[in-house]
A and B are shown apart, each in its own frame.
Chain A
């Protein structure tokens, strides 16, 4: 596949995932659309442009690992796992319901493809570091990709882990920050100012790459290029729009953690269907 064709393919996957995200949250009647939509291009890039895995053998030892530290964005992960073939798409409409493999936050004991249960914020990067140590001990070349929210960076454990990875030379860890600038109570800058996220990680010893979080070509490069200096872990600070793809959700903290009503769902799905149609056309063009 040419680079342009791969980008078009991932754009299409991301568009379909956004449609699934809104559909499943509307069906569930609750959930977190804002941070799921903001991360759709990042997660699509990981699953369909970067990571090596086998959905028929979810525990293949050589696989790359993904840790969704911002566990409330579970719908974006479930959409990717379904699209990748870990389970049938029928499961998506069971999100958050009794007996579902798709819990409100990812549960590794219930859902194939989920490496570790997450949901309590701030814990994912430490887990990713531990996995990376284990892979290195076993001589496996796989990578660990950890997606964090920006509000989540207010948790102290993130910085304990941020100190750990460079100290131990974990260049098989890639942290990705979904930097949409919003959290439940409002703008991160007003709730608890994060200061310079890129500067902070740089000061902790990481190679920092700032990129557009909805530009798949940029994301592929930022996520998959090896570090300039061996032993230095990479963090991708991806600037995103919360609620990306649904006009009335974009940039509105109010859509952090609530489901759309029937009318809003219809509007959102119409917008997202149109985006899927455009992506299909673009993919056709890109494949020529």
Chain B
């Protein structure tokens, strides 16, 4: 069936439709909105897109999004280097930072164990995390993966590897709904969950 839109608009709709959380209807709305926007706003948006792509990279230490080799958290000397919070992705760093409850550093695993998606330990930044333990004097890792099946299994996997090294593995617990997403937890709940973390039983 031929598209009812002229090709440039259809292309725009197709591109927006590929983005996470945007369904066909939203993609249409955004595309129609964009063609009505003033030229200068369009330029600013286009620049923001390419600029983000050009300037954002992963931090060499924690694999969070960063503007330089070392992100602002890894380069902040006032952070407690003995405690590390392992999260699934950069959005979780933002969520935890918002609580203001955590003064240690992060490690972004860039996913969780998920065989159905072809993701095993090698696809994650797990080895990179273990390489940080001794040099940084890390004594506790809080595994802040989401409280769903894959998140729990990943936490267990990490805890089992940490155990022989004498590094404490903890998990945030109370308050977070099972099957929920860290990203959507409110600050108070997440802050309380961090405070009430428990040792992972292996």
Q: Do A and B bind each other?
A: no
Interface residues of A, Cβ cutoff 8 Å to B = none
